[in-house]
Amino acid sequence: MDTIRDDTCPSFEGTLELIGRRWTGSVVQAAGQGARRFGEYRSMIEGISDRLLSQRLKELESAGLIDRTVVPSTPVQILYQLTPDGQALVDALMPLAQWSRRRSGHSGATQLPAA
């Protein structure tokens, strides 16, 4: 019987915790469509607040998954896009997205138990 120790897979638990935060999946998915401005993310992700979108972008930036680029145009444009690591995450999430979609076809199986 293998022991699952905290120190053997802290990165996996950390990953699950990061992407499990509300809206993070949607932000990463939106970023997968290319470099976008803040307002474009807001339009793409229906229902997200400015405060949470800003927080999620900052978290993903500090995790090295999203790059924030200042374009020296007039007016200045700020673009957010996936880093190569972020793109690899989006790819790694595909089987999970497919699993979710298959499951949502089942009766009642999509119900999330209360925390």
Q: Can you give the binding site for its own copies, defined by CB under 8 A?
A: 1-6, 9-26, 29-30, 33, 36, 40, 43-47, 58-59, 62-64, 85, 88-89, 91-104, 106, 109-113, 115
Q: Which residue type, as a one-letter code, is found at position 35?
A: A
Shortest distance in whole angstroms from residue 81 CB to its own copies: 14
Shortest distance in whole angstroms from residue 110 CB to its own copies: 5
Tokens in use for 105?
A: 């076809």
CB closer to its own copies, 72 vs 114: 114
Q: Alpha carbon of 74 to those of 38, 68, 69, 78, 103: distances in Å?
A: 16, 17, 15, 11, 47
